[in-house]
Structure formats: structure tokens, C-alpha cells
Amino acid sequence: MKTLKCEKLKSAEDAIQWIKNGDRLLVGGFGLCGTPFTLIDTITESDHARELTIISNNLGEAGKGLGKLLISKHIKKAIGSYFTSNRDAVKAWKSGELEIELIPQGTLAEAIRAGGAGIAGFYTKTAVGTKLAEGREEREFDGDRYLFVRGIKANVALIKAEKADTMGNLIYSKTARNFNPMMATAADLVIAEVDEIVEVGTFEAEQIVTPHSYVDIIVLNDRYEKIGGEYIERNR
């Protein structure tokens, strides 16, 4: 596949140099769908960025996606909705090696959207009266109780798109879109992993989900091949 000239294109190794120890990272994906595997693997192989706080729906699966980053001891804290699909995450939390902050899935999505929109926080009924409400600010509106939730922002967002054009406009593949577009609005630096780079003008304006102005760095996926809708790691 021909790689077109793109000023934002960098190698994965160069791109992750922008991630620092202790950074907050927004990482796209739902299960393993829409996960920036190449970027995650490259961080796993590096020693320069540890003590990371990962904000993502889940921590991949055992030995896959963010599950690799957990095993390599790069993650200090995970903020998300669903961690029990990865037995390593449960084990690390039980042993005190991993901090976990649970946020209901819809609340997580709205908190990221709010962060990207410059909204400091919002009130929601979700989790009122549960353990997740303990120690949280509550207010009553029209006779109902609501919890206050801060908007979420991060130092860096690692997102996964299907294609970028040479300016950095992004389109996504079906449900692999998930959290990725909103994460692209809520970080100081956005690194987008894509399967293909195409010429400007290839996309119709209505197809573009993430405009190029949100994207700082593009990395081409050169480690995984999509077979039958699933990404399989190539032999290296």
C-alpha cells in the first residue's frame, strides 16, 4: 500500500515520546473494538512513560490491547466502566497494584464529551443511592436527587480510526467509532492510529467525523491485519 505524504504522520516510536510519566491518557476502544493496538504495543515496549492513568471503557482483555500495558506495569490507575472482562485487571486491583475508579458507561461518555466541550461538570441521576455516590456532591432538582460529575480531560488521547486523509480528517469503521471521536476533543494532544491514509478530497464532507484540527499526530497501523473484522497481529 502506497503511503501518501502527510505532515502529521510519524512512527509509533516517535509519537509516544510525547507521553510523559504520570500522564492521563484517554484511550479509545470498547472491549477490543476500536482499540489503537499499535500505539499500545509501542508504549508497552518502552520504559519512558510509566505511572499512567488510563481513561478507557475497559482495560482490554488478558494479554490483549490495554491488557498488555497492564502486564508491563505501565498503568497506575484505570478510570472506566467495565474491568472484569480482564482477569489481570481484577487481580492487580485485589493486590493493590492498580487503582480503579468506576464510572457508569453513559456517565463516562458524557464526562468526556463535557471535557471536550469546555464544560466543567454536570449533574446526573445515574448512581444516586449506590456506593458510587459515596463522598460525591449531590443536589436536588424538581424533587429528584442528582450527582455532580466533573468533565474529563487528559494530557494525551490515543484513538483509532479506519482512515485519515493527508490533512488528518478521520473516518471510523462502524461500531469501532465508539469513544474515539469524543476523546479526540478532550485531550491536549491527540494521536490517531489509522489503517490507511488517503488523498484530501477522498471523503465527502458528511463522512468526516473528526476534523483535522483536532488531530496532532497520525500513526499508521503496521502491526495488525484486519481479517474478518478482527485485528490479528502480524508475525514480526
- pLDDT digits 0-9 by tens, 114-125: 999 999 999 999
State the SS3 of 163-176: EEECCCCEECCHHH
Neighbours of 92 (CB within 10 A): 21
The confidence score (pLDDT) of residue 235 equals 67
Report the alpha-carbon distance of residue 9 to residue 219 in Å, rounded: 6
Q: What is the mean pLDDT of the chain?
A: 94
Whether the pTM exceeds 0.85: the reply is yes
Neighbours of 124 (CB within 10 A): 16
User: In the predicted model, what is the mean pLDDT of residues 79-88?
Assistant: 94
Domains and CATH numbers, the chain: 12-105+154-221 (3.40.1080.10)
Strand partners, 230: 227
